Amino acid sequence: MKQILLVFLGGGLGSVLRYLISKPLNLYFTNFYLGTFIVNIIGCLLIGLLLGLSLKNNFLSENQTLLLATGFCGGFTTFSTFALENNSLLKNGDLIAFASYTIVSLVLGIIAVSLGLWFSKIF
């Protein structure tokens, strides 16, 4: 039960922070959804760093990993919103924005996780 509460707490905090960051940015950048993009890339970097540090030197306990990686990063990042926004771009016929948003998000997301893992080796 404690583990479920840790994921719940972390996910709630991550979701609120995502909303506070992405909502205002998405209002001004409707063709690229900059807010969602930023939180997803930051979340990728953060989960790579957290898990890399944890693997390297037991930086996080199992409960801390559940709170921060599973809960917070899981609530902070959002694949479903990313997919919905891409659907909107397709419906509007904006194929260039769709392609660039999808490709840049996926490529930079993977790079961010890799950078997080790499940074964890330095610490």
State pLDDT tens for residues 53-98: 998 888 899 999 999 999 999 999 999 999 999 999 999 999 999 9
Tokens linked to 106: 């996926």
User: 30 a known binding residue?
Assistant: no
pLDDT at residue 31, rounded to an integer: 78
Q: What is the mean pLDDT of residues 22-40?
A: 91
Q: Is 31 or 35 the better-scoring residue by pLDDT?
A: 35
Nearest to 42 by CA among 24, 22, 62, 56: 22
Q: Is 56 or 11 the better-scoring residue by pLDDT?
A: 11
pLDDT at residue 123, rounded to an integer: 81
pLDDT at residue 56, rounded to an integer: 87
User: 77 a known binding residue?
Assistant: yes
pTM recorded for the entire structure = 0.92
Sorted by where each begins, the domain ranges of the chain are: 2-122
pLDDT at residue 96, rounded to an integer: 96
Tokens linked to 66: 């559940």
Residues 6+ apart with CB under 8 A from 96: none
